[in-house]
Structures are given as C-alpha cells and as structure tokens.
Amino acid sequence: MIITEYLTQKLQEYVSEKYSISDFNFEIIKTKKEFDGLYTVVLFPLIPRIKKSPKEISYEIVDFVNTEKFIISSHNVIQGFLNLNFTSEYLINTLKNINPTQECKPNNELKIIEFCSPNTNKPLHLGHIRNILLGDSVSKILDYSGYEIHKTQIINDRGIHICKSMIAWMKFGNNGDPTKNKTKGDHYVGEFYVKFNQEYENQVTDLIKSGEDKKYAEENAPILKDSQNLLRKWEKKDDEVIKVWKKMNSWVIDGFNETLEKLDVVFDSEYFESETYLIGKEIVEKGLKSGLFFKKQDNSVWVDLTAEGLDEKILIRSDGTSVYMTQDLGTAYLRYQNYPKLSGMIYTTGNEQDYHFKVLFKILDKLNYNWANKLQHLSYGMVDLPSGKMKSREGSVVDADELISSMIDKAKVISDTLGKINDLVDSEKKQLYKTIALGALKYHILKVDPKKKILFNPEESIDFNGNTGPFIQYTYARIKSILNKNCNTTYEFNELKLAQKEKELIILLCEFKNILNNSVKTLNPSLLANHIYEVVKLYNSYYQKHTILGNKNINSFRVYLSEKVAMQIEKSMGLLGISVPNRM
C-alpha cells in the first residue's frame, strides 16, 4: 500500500473512532518545496466538524497514526496544513512495495478505441501522427489498468474528397502507378489531391475573369462537377469507377501500413466507410419513417436538433449521396453489433470535430440506442508549424514518412558525435537510431495536454537535455550501466538514514499509481509523460550529488533505488509507446 493510501485509511479510522464521522474525505497533497515535509494533510474542512484547533488536531493525528507503527518522524502545522515527514525505515519498506511492472487486475470491461482513421486521398502527416500516438498511448494505459482494449480505425475510403483524387488521376495521371513513378502509394495519390485543388483554383479564377460571380465559380468549376458526378456513379456501383477506386485505395492503404509499421502501431481491426455508410443509410431511412428525420423540398434528409441547443444537420444530400455523419451512424451501430459486451467506445479526433461528435452522440441517443451514453470523444488540439497551419490541399504539410526519416537522421548525427556506441554493429546502431528518433517524436507529442495546440519543432524534440524523450532514454541507459557495474547481488539496508533527495525520489515514485489513475480518467498521457520527466530530473540531480557505487551498505540501497527508478522509466515510457535502450 502506497503512503497516501495508508494515510487515508488511518485518517478515516481516526475521525471514525474518535468522532464517529464516517463521511469525511481527506485531501493529501505533496508538500510545497518551501515547507518542511513530504506530504501535507489539509485540515481546514475538518476544523469546523470537530471544533478543535489545527495544532490540537495535528497532534491527535500523529499520535493515532504512530500508535500502530511508528512512521511519522516529524511534523509541523502551517495554519490549516499539517506537513508530515516519515521515517527512513517506513520509506524504504514503501519503496520495496512499488512495482510498476505489476499490471492491474482485469475489470472485464471491453473498450474500443478508434484512432488514425485517415482519408484515402493523401498520405499521413504530422496531424495524423498526433492522433495515432495519442490513441495508441491511451490504449496502452487502459490496457495496463485492466481494461480489455480493441484498437480500431475507420478507413475513410469514399466520398467527395476521394473522388477529387480519382478524377485528377483520371485526367492527368496518364495511367501511371506508384511502381512506375517509384513513389510510395499514399504519396502518389496525394499528389493528385493537390493537383485537383490547383486545377480547381485555376478554373475558379478563369470563370470569375469571364464574368461569373465568385460563388457561382466555386460551385460550378468543371473539375468539381466531374468529381461530384464521379461520386454519384460510385454510389451506383459503376464498374469502371469502382475499378479505379479499388486500385487507388489499395495504393494508399499499402502506404498507410508502411507508415504505421514505422511507428510500431498495430490495429486489431479496420472498418471501411465504403461498407458502413450503407448501414448508416438504412438507419437514416428508419429515422425518416419514424418521423425523427425529415426531408426538405430538394429531397435532402435532415435531423432537427435545435431543441437540444444544436442545429439542423444534413444526413443525406439531395442527390442521394451520404455524408460523414451517415457513415458514423453506421459504424457505431456495426461495432456494437460486433461486440455486444462493449462497455464504451472512444473516438480520437481533432477538436475541430467537437461539434460533429456532439451531434452524432445526440442522434444515436434520439434513436434510442441504449449504448449511446457510452461513447466518448477524445478531442485534441491541432499541430501547427512555426510557419503556420498545415493544409493538405495545398501540400503544405509535414509528411509523416519524411518526418520519421529526418528524426532518425538527427538521432544518428547526435549519437555518432557522442561516440559512445562505436563498438556496436551496424544493425544495432540502426535500431538504436530508430529507438531514439521515435522516443523523441512520441514524447514531444505526448507530453502536451491533448486539449492544447502543439507548435511542433523537431530540433527541440531530439535534444538530449531538458524535457525530451532522449533525455529520459539517456537516464535509463545510465542507470542500466550502473546496474551492470554493481558487484553486489543482494540488497541490504541496515539502519539507513535516507538523504533528502532519496526521500523525495521515493515519494515521487509513489505518485505513479495516482498519476496513472488520473491518466485513465482524463484519457491524458501527458500526465504520465511529465511525471516520468520529474522522476528523471530528480534522479539526475540525485546522481550528481551522491555517489551511487561506493560504501557497501549505502551502495546497496542507492543501486536498489536506481533500479526502481529504471523500472518506472521503462513502464511509463512503454505506456507512451516508447522503447528505452540499454545503451546510448
């Protein structure tokens, strides 16, 4: 039992036995640096309940807790705050019970986490990387915490955006393919998405120059009309259109899988919008018959959510084609059919889709699906560059593959410059470069609260100092070196008096469980990322001040403490999807 759990238990016994209070929840926090103590008990809410001074309550608490076993070595009271210090013996025994490798008991709850979910008209970029890393890390955190996790994605392989790439390839592709062009499949198709928008802008400009107003020009550019016609043909299963669609989608999906493999991300299942939208259309048809949805004069189908503080939302266009909402209805329904024991589903998307998911969840609720209240939206801020916002249609994005390659190149330069891995064979060096590069990339993304926007700077992310992945990895490698040099095979702690930083390290290691629980509740890996950075920062300060390998008795404890730190680094980074190398 960690310190805060034991303290909470004893404090509740104290108010129950002495004052017959059974409904009191104590707040226990880490003591602020400017005060003497390791943990602080907030007494203010208790004072009016038992009508005693903070000083009297403090002495009662310390005496009560120390009656069973002597664990509080000293205390002080600052107004309504009781600051506590603990005996070295108790802290060492607590350290022995900290085991981050021990997973939580299964809770028999199945959760689906949807992330990545790209469109098959362009390659994955930096924005997708944040989505992928966030979804993958949350999956790992929930899995470690006892949930049964199913990682999935919806491949958005149909719709007007896909048809834009298709029509551009049909007009300008000269029947080419990625192999002929020696281009990765998703990159190849993405070039035609950019080409479409370039041609569209030119046609809009020409129409305006010919005397048409801007709105007419934007709605009637010939290439846009062609793509809309292509979508109608697709929904009618036109053989030639379907043939082109299948071919181009296969190129893109092969490219996606290559990128996911580079990121060490694997999915348990994939759904395809080209299949789920049909179920969505059936749901819309039923809602139309029941009166929940309505048709407008142009035959488009809508739902009116104004009474719920939202607005009217289109579900089927006037030409009979479906929208994203249609396929999302179908996909949600299909997943609950496939997994009837599902206890919840988490959608990972950018915050520009917050409104979309409010509408989706409300529609499913109005359709009386009893699982509608089990849906969550893991919303995150956009990733911007120093030059501004990324735009796929203009080609001004940071390509995922190019970013990973450049990070590996930077890791190679830095590692080779340090000269500490010269004895490794080339294959080991290559793997180490990738480990450092992915650690830098993943940590740089995941250390930021999902709700916040990221201004991405790859140079900062791969620094071996500061709040970075490589800094944490390097500390782990340093500890592994210490453990390898240690000659003692058994640990002995005989009447040790801990140094202040050793006490602080133990307290910080104790925080892991609470941090993990908060990460689960808030779906926020950044809590875990920044916790392990604090551990590593404190350990490095401790390492600089104290000799780890020295006096046998002291050495034995310090090596043991270092080993516990390494275990927590490895587990925490693993939950972020980051590997830690034994050497750097």
Query: For 145-220, where are the alpha helices, taking DSSP H only?
Result: 160-172, 178-181, 185-209, 214-220
pLDDT tops 90 at residue 459: no
As a whole number, mean pLDDT of residues 311-335 equals 95
What are the angstrom distances between the C-alpha of 58 and each of 5, 64, 104, 237, 357? 19, 10, 35, 77, 50
Question: Helix %, strand %, coil % for the chain, to 5?
Answer: 60, 15, 30
Tell me the per-residue pLDDT of 143-158, one tens digit each, with 9 for 90 and over: 999 999 999 999 999 9
Closest C-alpha to 154, from 246, 272, 254, 258: 272
pTM of the model: 0.92
**Residues ≥6 apart with Cβ < 8 Å to 533:** 447, 467, 471, 472
Give CA–CA dist 579/473, Å, rounded.
8
pLDDT tops 70 at residue 551: no
The band of 552, judged by pLDDT with boundaries at 50, 70 and 90, is: low
Residue 463: predicted pLDDT:
81
Closest C-alpha to 113, from 393, 543, 525, 452: 525
- Tell me which residue has tokens 């390492």: 543
Furthest CA-CA distance within the chain: 92
Between 486 and 4, residue with greater pLDDT: 4
Instruction: Estimate to the nearest angstrom the gap between the alpha carbon of 364 and the chain centroid.
Output: 26
H helices then E strands: how many in the chain?
Answer: 22, 15
* CATH 3.40.50.620 is right for the domain spanning 117-394: yes
The C-alpha angle 194, 196, 202, rounded to 5 degrees, equals 105
As a whole number, mean pLDDT of residues 279-288 equals 97
Tell me the per-residue pLDDT of 49-64, one tens digit each, with 9 for 90 and over: 999 999 999 999 999 9
Strand order of the sheet with strand 312-316?
A: 293-295, 301-304, 312-316
Give CA–CA dist 528/341, Å, rounded.
29
Question: Tokens in use for 101?
Answer: 């490798």
Residue 21: predicted pLDDT:
95
What are the angstrom distances between the C-alpha of 250 and each of 189, 253, 267, 270, 401? 10, 5, 18, 14, 18
Residue 342: predicted pLDDT:
94
CB crowding 40-61: b at 16 or more within 10 Å, else e: bbebeebeeeeebebeebbebb
Question: Is residue 362 a contact partner of residue 393, using CB atoms and an 8 Å limit?
Answer: no
Which residues of the chain are in CATH 3.40.50.620 domains? 117-394
**Residues ≥6 apart with Cβ < 8 Å to 242:** 234
- Tell me which residue has tokens 């059974």: 22
Number of Cβ within 10 Å of residue 466's Cβ equals 10
State the DSSP string of 513-535.
HHHHHHHHHHT-HHHHHHHHHHH
Q: What would the 3-class secondary structure string for 414-440 be?
A: HHHHHCCCCCCCHHHHHHHHHHHHHHH
Which residues of the chain are in CATH 3.30.1360.70 domains? 3-86
As a whole number, mean pLDDT of residues 116-128 equals 94
Question: Is residue 196 a contact partner of residue 230, using CB atoms and an 8 Å limit?
Answer: no
Give the sign of the dihedral formed by CA 436, CA 441, CA 442, CA 444.
positive
Tell me the per-residue pLDDT of 75-93, one tens digit each, with 9 for 90 and over: 999 999 999 999 999 999 9
As a whole number, mean pLDDT of residues 204-216 equals 96
Q: Domain 3-86: give its CATH superfamily.
A: Arginyl tRNA synthetase N-terminal domain (3.30.1360.70)
Tell me the per-residue pLDDT of 347-377, one tens digit each, with 9 for 90 and over: 999 999 999 999 999 999 999 999 999 999 9
Give the sign of the dihedral formed by CA 314, CA 320, CA 323, CA 328.
positive
pLDDT tops 90 at residue 103: no
Question: In a 3-state reduction of DSSP, which class is residue 387?
Answer: coil
Q: Is 485 exposed, middle or buried (0-12, 13-18, 19+ CB in 10 A)?
A: exposed
Strand partners, 396: 391
Closest C-alpha to 134, from 405, 354, 536, 452: 452
The C-alpha angle 13, 16, 19, rounded to 5 degrees, equals 130
Give the class (CATH, top level) of 400-575: mainly alpha
**Residues ≥6 apart with Cβ < 8 Å to 386:** 455, 457
Give CA–CA dist 121/193, Å, rounded.
6
Report the mean per-residue pLDDT for the chain: 93
The band of 390, judged by pLDDT with boundaries at 50, 70 and 90, is: very low
Number of Cβ within 10 Å of residue 450's Cβ equals 23
The band of 274, judged by pLDDT with boundaries at 50, 70 and 90, is: very high
As a whole number, mean pLDDT of residues 208-213 equals 96
Q: Which range, of 247-251, 300-304, 403-407, 419-423, averages the lowest pLDDT? A: 419-423
pLDDT tops 60 at residue 392: no
What single-letter DSSP state applies at residue 348? E
Tell me the per-residue pLDDT of 565-577, one tens digit each, with 9 for 90 and over: 999 999 999 999 9
Number of Cβ within 10 Å of residue 409's Cβ equals 13
